[in-house]
């Protein structure tokens, strides 16, 4: 997952959309976030945090 994170951080929204497709969900508010389900069986998802048009951070989480 570290390689995936490293390939996303710093990239623009259009580039990420081209790589991963449109996000499954969007979070708006103080910081824009895009959410992607990575593994349905393991319930692993990824959230991409944006500052303006560029990815600032990527967080991975798993449903209990």
How far apart CA 4 and CA 8 sit, in angstroms, is: 6
Residue 42's pLDDT is 93
Q: What's the CATH class of domain 2-62?
A: alpha beta
Residue 56's pLDDT is 96
The pTM of this model reads 0.87
pLDDT values of the chain reduced to their tens digit, one per residue, 64 residues: 899 999 999 999 999 999 999 998 887 766 789 999 999 999 999 999 999 889 999 999 998 8
Residue 39's pLDDT is 93
How far apart CA 62 and CA 32 sit, in angstroms, is: 20
Residue 29's pLDDT is 62
């Amino acid at each position: 997952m570290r390689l995936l994170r490293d390939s996303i951080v710093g990239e623009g929204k259009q580039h990420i959309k081209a790589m991963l497709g449109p996000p499954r969900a969007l979070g708006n508010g103080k910081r824009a976030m895009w959410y992607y389900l990575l593994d349905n069986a393991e319930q692993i998802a990824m959230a991409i945090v944006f500052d303006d048009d560029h990815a600032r951070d990527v967080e991975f989480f798993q449903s209990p």
